[in-house]
Amino acid sequence: PAIPGYKVEKKEEADVALNLVLTHFGLDPSKRGIALRFGGDLCAVSGIGASAAQVVAQARALARALGRDMTEDEINEAGYEGEKGYHGTPSGIDNTAATFGGLLRFQRTDGAPIFEKKRIADPIRIVYASTGITASTTKVVGDVRAKKEADPAWFDDLMNQYLELVKRGEEALDEGDLVALGKCMDENHTLCQKLTVSCKESDDLVDAARKAGAIGAKMSGTGRGGLMLALTPSEEIQEAVFEELKKTAPQVWKTTFA
């Protein structure tokens, strides 16, 4: 499944990504027939990590078909190569999440990224909604990079705010303080607006979720379209936010993880 127009908009990037994974496995489609078919119930939409899910699934399928006993790290490495087709210079967070699953703390470094699985004491309920806009990560990242180069001081100030916010957000998550976590989400959305990666459609959905009872809401993914998500403290509020967002968002989903 996919939101309208997503597969058409992403086809060129997808073709590059899939071929990068094949190359990583030492396969050449011009020399042998290769048929790829993807399935599942994850709706392809900007901001949910659909591209990473695709290339990681491709890597697992190829490993099985070729009889290769690959570690999760090796699968993740193959997925990262594929993500380059979608993102140019991916952070690695999406393919890592798609490979290992669960709730992760991820930190990019000059070398190998650092990540650890997190445990939470109580279930976390979220609602996420689509703006209906398919965004190009490569274009958005390139635009932000240009802004960074044009005004390094502006970018460094935002980055320092981000680092402090991540620390507080992780502490709130570890302590099971959903109210504090929700406030961090709100602050993060404000920073995304300052970074110019939000858009009116995302902002409107974020505002609607908060008014319906969400204790925090923010855009998700690259931005300028794609998804937003809302943190809801109970099943009743989750349902209320879900119903409110359905009034204006093209697609709305809800889930709970523990």
pLDDT value at residue 19: 97
Residue among 113, 60, 76 nearest 91 (CA): 113
Report yes or no: 164 and 112 within 8 Å, Cβ to Cβ: no
Report yes or no: 231 and 214 within 8 Å, Cβ to Cβ: yes
Residue 180 CB coordination number (10 Å): 16
Amino acid at 136: S
Report yes or no: 85 and 19 within 8 Å, Cβ to Cβ: yes
Residue 28 CB coordination number (10 Å): 11
One digit per residue, the tens of pLDDT, for the chain of length 258 reads 888 889 999 999 999 999 999 999 999 999 999 999 999 988 998 889 999 999 999 999 999 999 999 999 999 999 999 999 998 889 999 999 999 998 999 998 888 888 898 988 889 999 999 999 998 888 898 999 999 999 999 999 999 999 999 999 999 999 999 999 999 999 999 999 999 999 999 999 999 999 999 999 999 988 999 999 999 999 999 999 999 999 999 999 999 987
| Angle between helices 152-175 and 178-194 in degrees, nearest 10 | 170
Burial (Cβ within 10 Å: 0-12, 13-18, ≥19) of residue 38:
middle
